[in-house]
Amino acid sequence: MHGCNGGAGVNSFALVSYIPDPLGAFLDRLRNDLVRECHAKAHVTVLPPRPIQVPSSDAWNQINERLIDVQPFDVELGAIEVFPITDVIYVSVKAGRSELKKLHTALNSGLVSFREPFLYHPHITLAQEISHENVTGAAEIAMERWAKFAGPRSFTVDKLTFVQNTADNGWTDLNAWYSSPSAARL
C-alpha cells in the first residue's frame, strides 16, 4: 500500500497481512529509503487493490465468512527481485506461497471478484513507480541491506486487514480478521 492512514476514501480496497516487527520495521525503513514518499506499513497482499460495487461492509462480511476455517500459517521471505514489466522491487516469498495463493483464490470471488491485470504473485513490495533508470541502483541497495539483515525473515499470517485507498493515495484500515477468537480486535 502506498501511504499511511487518512484522507477521504475512494473505491479501491485490498486485503493485507501486515508484517510484525522487527522484520516489519526493517522493511518499512528500507521502503522509505528507496522511495522517500512511501510511509506504508510493510505487508503481504492477499487481495490486490480493486473496486467493489457494494457497500464495503457487505464485501467485508463475505470475506470474513470465507475466512472461517483458515488457520494461521508461516511465511518465509526469500530474495530481492524485480518484476520485469512494472519495475517493482520486491522481496520474494519462499514458504507460505501456496497458502497465500489458495487464500487469494478462495477470496477473489463474489462481491470482491476482480480480474487483476497480473497473475497473483505473493511478494512484499519495496519500491514501485520509480524511474526505469533508477531501478537497478535501488535494487542493489535493497539487496545489500537485505543481506545484512540479521533478524527473522519469517512471520505468521494470523491477522488480515481490509483496507481502503484514500484520495491522498494512503490506506485506511477498515476491518480485521484474527485467526484466534481470543485475539484483540480493531
- Residues 30-47 have pLDDT tens digits of 999 998 876 679 999 999
- Sign of the dihedral through C-alpha 19, 22, 25, 31: negative
Backbone angles phi, psi at 165, to 5 degrees: -70, 150
Percent of the chain residues topping a pLDDT of 90:
80
- Residues 87-144 have pLDDT tens digits of 999 999 999 999 999 999 999 999 999 999 999 999 999 999 899 999 999 999 999 9
Q: How much is the pLDDT for 119?
A: 94
Greater model confidence, 128 or 79:
79
- The domains located in the chain, with CATH, are 9-178 (3.90.1140.10)
Q: Give burial (CB, 10 Å; 0-12/13-18/19+) of 158.
A: middle
